Structure 1
Amino acid sequence: MNLTENIKEALRSVKINLLRTVLTGTIIAIGITSLVGMLTAIDAIKAQIEDSFSGLGANNFDVRSRGFSGGRAVQGGKTEKSYPAVKFRDAQDFKSEYSSIGMSTVYSTLSGAVEIKRGSKKTNPNIRVTGVDDLYLPIKGIKIEDGRNFSNTEIEYGSNVCIVGVELVDLLFEKEENPLNKQVSFFGNRYTIIGVIEKQGSVGGGSGADRAVFITVINGSRLDRRGTFRYTITASGTNPINLDYEMGQATGVMRKIRQDGIGEEDSFEITKSESVGESLEEVAGYLRIGGFTIGFITLIGASIGLMNIMMVSVTERTREIGIRKALGATPLRIRQQFLIEAIVICLIGGVFGVILGIGIGNIVANTIGPGGFLIPWIWIIVSFVICVFVGLSSGYIPAFKASKLDPIESLRYE
């Protein structure tokens, strides 16, 4: 028997023992489903998170108060010097001087627990209000669905106007009612809605910009009666190649504004926006390792089940093996026949497992957060390689046993 005949015979055996093939393939399919399903879900969720953070841009960097809070930072077991927070005047001066290098936006989160009112309707006290300028939305990649952005005059005079998220519109307005030029109240003032931002969506049940209100940064600074607000600057670099150089220029500009002495540490910090993506990739890597480990353990159980079934198949076909050997089949061809049969069964189970895994993984990902349909080609290829490996490892011992059977004893077997 040559290799081609062995393949045909293996396929014929799979067809004759269809029920056994289906049951064995189901075992493999369950293992592949768990592997591909988990990895697909992880990659799909990661893609959603990356899309949510895509507005940050790979060319952006933030200038903010040291340690985020402007207080004391602890490093190496020692309490560092306390640095004052970045204030409104610092941020405005930086934006003015940095304008010759590139664009930047100044903003401050005024509160994350605000109640917005309109007539008899009001929201829960969980709305985030942020003071921004006219470049905040373009730099952060937030699009306006209805209305417009802040004008230069509104920014300069700190007018009582606001841009809101779609969730606020749903809460405070009727379904067909146009929110533009309508007024809402918060912080004891009335604000006119001039824009509604495009639905952002979120991962993990949060609301993000959909449950947010943006007012002009100067208007927000007037609410800082105790001087506790802290301001952040996001600068947009020209391209990733020049980003480090532009961050160095930004550092020099801010040190001058903050009057940091020669040899002294920076009284602020500059971070790349892409660090969010790097952290996300690191977390996703750990999740993939965990998912692959769990799926591989499931496949080990499946391979043991396949090996057991193949051992039974060898016992059932002892007389057949004897006839083949009597007709001149070598031990190598006998081993090949059973190995090919085991691999074919694994590949059949693998095809169904991959289809189920892709479907389940995308369903899980879209349940957590709305997103597209992801087909993980890399994991599909890895799954089929694993199927071949499982078929070889599970079928080798039964195939070796079959190749060592004595032809005379095999022909006597009943």
Structure 2
Amino acid sequence: MNLIENIREAIRSIRSNLLRTILTGLIIAIGITSLVGMLTAIDGMKAQIEESFSGFGANNFDVQSKGRSGRRVMREGVEEKIYPPVNYRNAVDFKEAYSERGVATVHCSLTGAAEIKRGSKTTNPNTRITGGDENYLLIKGIAIENGRNFSNVEVRYGNNVCLLGSEIVETLFESHEDPIGQYVTFYGNRYKIVGVLEEQGTVGGDSGVDRNIIIPVENATRQDQTGNFRYDITVLVSDPAKLDYEMGQATGIMRKIRRDRVGEENSFEVVKSETIGESLEEVAGYLRIGGFSIGFITLLGAAVGLMNIMLVSVTERTREIGVRKALGATPLRIRQQFLIEAIMICVLGGTLGVVLGIAIGNIVASLVGPGGFLVPWVWLVMAFVVCILVGLVSGLIPAYKASRLDPIEALRYE
């Protein structure tokens, strides 16, 4: 009995016990469906969210001070030179010089632990205050829910106006009150509210924009009593394919502004902005681990069920095994026969599971938003590999038991 004959015999056995094969295959199909379905849904939702926010950071880069930590870095035993930070005048000069090529915004962070007051109401001391200009919201992908953005005059003269995050509005105002035109106080100054930022939700315990106040960057410079504020420049490139080229152009402009000599290294840094896709990839990675773990547990239960059915099959076919051994079949061929049968059942069930998993995963992903049909080829290949492994593990003990049967005792079995 060779390998080809064993495959034919496995097919005949599957056909002769069709109902049992279908029920066994369904056990495997359910496990594969849960595995492929969850992983497909995760990838599908990630792809659709990335598409919705494709412009937020994907075509941006930052020009910022070199060595943001402010500490000396040892490289080959030599301390690197510490350069002065990018100041407000450097940033404004760059924005004006780059305006012929594209859009840039100058911004800085004043504090992340401010208290905002309105009458007798006060926020917790965890409000972030940011200085920005008229382009800040556009480049950072922040929408205004109510009110308006800063005007060019307000940015130029640094008027006492501000944009509030939704969480601060909920703390300082009643639901029926309109915050537009009202005043809040921080740093001993009164600021008029001209806009409310759209709620973005909480990620990792950080409310981000929802707990942020944005004031004109010119106004923020007045709070810089010690001159330690660091000003960042974010540039929006119209064509992402030209991102590296524009970064090179920005480097040349900034070197001229900073008066870096020919042959000297840059006294600043030009880096690609972190995209939403990069953040989503990190979150999706954890979701994949969770989905794979749940699917693996389901498959483990399916493997136990398949093993039990294969053991019953060995018992039912004891006399058949005795005949095969009497005709010269070796224990290796007997083991091979049952292993092939288990693998074939798993592959048949896995095929159904993959189809159902891809369909269910895409349906779940489509609930997030409209998008294209996703076929996760990596998970598809992995699913069939897992099917084969499950078939081997589930069929190993029954196959070993069948190969150990005594042919004389097996022939006597009724």
What TM-score do you get using the length of structure 2 for normalisation?
Answer: 0.77
Q: Is the 8 A contact 1:31 1:298 kept in 2?
A: no
Matched, 1:321 2:320: yes
Q: How big is the alpha-carbon RMSD for the aligned residues of Structure 1 and Structure 2?
A: 4.7
Q: Give the letter aligned to residue 186 of structure 1.
A: F
Residue 405 of structure 1, CA deviation: 6.7
Please name the residue that 2:196 is paired with: 196
Cα distance in 2 for partners of 1:11, 1:341 equals: 14
Residue 119 of structure 1, CA deviation: 1.1
> Any idea what SS the aligned residue of 1:82 has?
coil
Q: 1:42 and 1:2, CA in 2 relative to 1: closer, same or farther beyond 3 A?
A: closer
Identity between Structure 1 and Structure 2 (%):
45
1:221-240 paired onto structure 2 within 5 Å: 221-240=221-240
Select between 211-220 and 347-356 the one with higher mean Cα deviation.
347-356
What TM-score do you get using the length of structure 1 for normalisation?
Answer: 0.77
Please name the residue that 2:100 is paired with: 100
Q: Is the 8 A contact 1:346 1:391 kept in 2?
A: no
Please name the residue that 1:79 is paired with: 79
Matched, 1:12 2:13: no
Q: 1:211 and 1:25, CA in 2 relative to 1: closer, same or farther beyond 3 A?
A: same
Select between 85-94 and 242-251 the one with higher mean Cα deviation.
242-251
1:65-144 paired onto structure 2 within 5 Å: 65-144=65-144
Residue 127 of structure 1, CA deviation: 0.6
1:223-262 paired onto structure 2 within 5 Å: 223-262=223-262
> Any idea what SS the aligned residue of 2:146 has?
strand
Residue 252 of structure 1, CA deviation: 1.2
Select between 175-184 and 41-50 the one with higher mean Cα deviation.
41-50
Please name the residue that 1:148 is paired with: 148
Residue 147 of structure 1, CA deviation: 0.9
Please name the residue that 1:344 is paired with: 345
Q: Is the 8 A contact 2:343 2:392 kept in 1?
A: no
Please name the residue that 1:175 is paired with: 175
Please name the residue that 2:57 is paired with: 57
Cα distance in 2 for partners of 1:64, 1:52 equals: 28
Tell me the alpha carbon deviations over residues 95-114 of structure 1, each in whole angstroms, 9 at most, x when there is no partner. 11111111100000011111
Cα distance in 2 for partners of 1:255, 1:278 equals: 29
Please name the residue that 1:368 is paired with: none
> Any idea what SS the aligned residue of 1:25 has?
helix
Q: 1:170 and 1:36, CA in 2 relative to 1: closer, same or farther beyond 3 A?
A: farther
Select between 295-304 and 74-83 the one with higher mean Cα deviation.
295-304
Q: Is the 8 A contact 1:25 1:349 kept in 2?
A: no
How many residue pairs get aligned? The number is 398
Q: Is the 8 A contact 1:73 1:79 kept in 2?
A: yes
> Any idea what SS the aligned residue of 1:12 has?
helix
Q: Give the letter aligned to residue 180 of structure 1.
A: I
Q: Is the 8 A contact 2:167 2:210 kept in 1?
A: yes
Cα distance in 2 for partners of 1:190, 1:80 equals: 43
Q: 1:78 and 1:44, CA in 2 relative to 1: closer, same or farther beyond 3 A?
A: farther
Residue 411 of structure 1, CA deviation: 4.0
Structure 2 stretches of 5 or more lacking a match?
Answer: 1-7
Structure 1 stretches of 5 or more lacking a match?
Answer: 366-370
Q: 1:125 and 1:334, CA in 2 relative to 1: closer, same or farther beyond 3 A?
A: closer
1:258-297 paired onto structure 2 within 5 Å: 258-274=258-274, 281=281
Cα distance in 2 for partners of 1:10, 1:279 equals: 51
Q: 1:37 and 1:348, CA in 2 relative to 1: closer, same or farther beyond 3 A?
A: same
Cα distance in 2 for partners of 1:88, 1:235 equals: 16
Q: 1:359 and 1:385, CA in 2 relative to 1: closer, same or farther beyond 3 A?
A: same
Q: Is the 8 A contact 2:27 2:302 kept in 1?
A: no
Cα distance in 1 for partners of 2:165, 2:196 equals: 6
Cα distance in 1 for partners of 2:284, 2:145 equals: 35
Tell me the alpha carbon deviations over residues 359-396 of structure 1, each in whole angstroms, 9 at most, x when there is no partner. 99x99x9xxxxx77999852652454135313442355
Select between 377-386 and 350-359 the one with higher mean Cα deviation.
350-359
Residue 58 of structure 1, CA deviation: 1.9
Cα distance in 1 for partners of 2:176, 2:258 equals: 50
Cα distance in 2 for partners of 1:43, 1:126 equals: 35
Q: 1:40 and 1:76, CA in 2 relative to 1: closer, same or farther beyond 3 A?
A: farther
Cα distance in 2 for partners of 1:78, 1:288 equals: 43
Select between 124-133 and 67-76 the one with higher mean Cα deviation.
67-76
Residue 271 of structure 1, CA deviation: 0.2
> Any idea what SS the aligned residue of 1:251 has?
helix
